[in-house]
Structure 1
Amino acid sequence: MPDTEIFSEPYGRVLLDEAVPCVIIQWFGFANRTEFLALQNTALRYLEDHATPARPWGLVADVRRMGAIPTEVQEWLVNDFNPRAVAAGLREVSVVPAETVFGQLATQRYQRESAATGLADVLPTVLYPTMAAAAEGARQAMAEASR
């Protein structure tokens, strides 16, 4: 599936799947604030630098092994990451849900707080059962966005 790894640390990595096309964020456990921002910003910068209206890129978040997310990071996701992602052309955050309760709670909070900003209509968080399904969801969302 992924073609290229552009970032890798013990807590996670960022991959590219040019066939979709999408950026994939994979979490391997808990990341502190600095680590979390490094991973997310790497993915977002790639979207900002490579997505175009004619060829938007998707974002797949594999959070199956993600841990808790610090409160200030949750706020950053909603108030900084989301607006920048929308400006880059992202129209869906395709997520393979967490297996741990901490990761599940973090995803639920992100969805709830994103919905409260009104951006959830433009940038929904959609849960998929597998990576393949999430990649297909991202592909479909990007095809819709380019119309």
Structure 2
Amino acid sequence: MTDITLIAESYGSMLLAPDVPCLIVQWHGFANQAQFQSLMDRGLALYVEEARRTQPLGWLADTRHVGATTPALQEWLAHDWNPRAYAAGIRHCSFVAPESVFGQISVQQYTAHTTEAATYRIEPAYHRTLAAAKRWLREQLA
């Protein structure tokens, strides 16, 4: 089944993968802080809306082309977005591993903050391909 594009921006997209089922945030390159937060917030709103129709529902981050993120953005993810994502029902985050070292550092920092959190538990997992990331998430949701 083909993924359905819900949001398309120059820096990233939100897709629905009905075959998993999950929402996919797909980064196309560098996004400044406002762009990054906007796409993540709009994606979470779409997740909440879709979760009313589809259960269970997962979250997948295609970070192959993600750029560097600032410490302020990492703090926002850890202390603002993640708690809201957890409250919305996200328990697993399947990643397609970044290709650039800057993206790798960003995702490693996200993982460190997420696994250290005391107020929520979101399990991250990393995969080389989108197909592998979808397969793992489908298994977690079963």
TM-score, length basis structure 2:
0.92
Counterparts of 1:35-74 in structure 2, within 5 Å, are 35-51=35-51, 55-74=55-74
- Partner residue of 1:110? 110
Q: Which amino acid in the other structure matches residue 107 of structure 2?
A: T
The answer as to whether partners of 2:29 and 2:67 remain within 8 angstroms in 1 is yes
Alignment-mate amino acid for residue 84 of structure 2: R
After TM superposition, where is structure 1 displaced by more than 2 Å over at least 4 residues in a row? Answer: none
Q: Is the Cα–Cα contact under 8 Å of residues 32 and 70 in structure 1 kept in the other structure?
A: no
Q: Is the 8 A contact 1:63 1:103 kept in 2?
A: yes
- 1:124 counterpart residue number: 123
Pair 96,3 (structure 1): closer, same or farther in 2 beyond 3 Å: closer
What are the superposed Cα offsets for residues 88-137 of structure 1, whole Å, 9 maximum, x if unpaired? 111111001111010000000011111221367x3111001110111111
| Matching residue of 1:101 | 101
Which ranges in structure 1 are unaligned for 5 or more consecutive residues? none
Secondary structure at the aligned position of 2:23 is classed as strand
For residues 7-39 of structure 1, the C-alpha deviation after alignment (integer angstroms, 9 at most, x for no partner) is 111111110011211001111111001110111
Structure-1 residue corresponding to 2:86: 86
State percent identity of aligned pairs.
40
- Alpha-carbon RMSD across the aligned residues, in angstroms, is 1.8
Q: Taking structure 1 as the reference length, what is the TM-score of the superposition?
A: 0.89
**Counterpart residue identity of residue 60, structure 1:** L
Query: Partners of 1:119 and 1:134 in 2: how far apart?
Result: 25
Q: Is the 8 A contact 1:90 1:142 kept in 2?
A: no
Counterpart-to-counterpart distance in 2, 1:104 and 1:86: 23
Are 2:22 and 2:57, in contact at CA under 8 Å, matched by a contact in 1? yes
Unaligned runs of 5+ in 2: none
Q: Distance in 2 between matches of 1:16 and 1:34?
A: 23
Deviation for aligned residue 1:56? 2.2
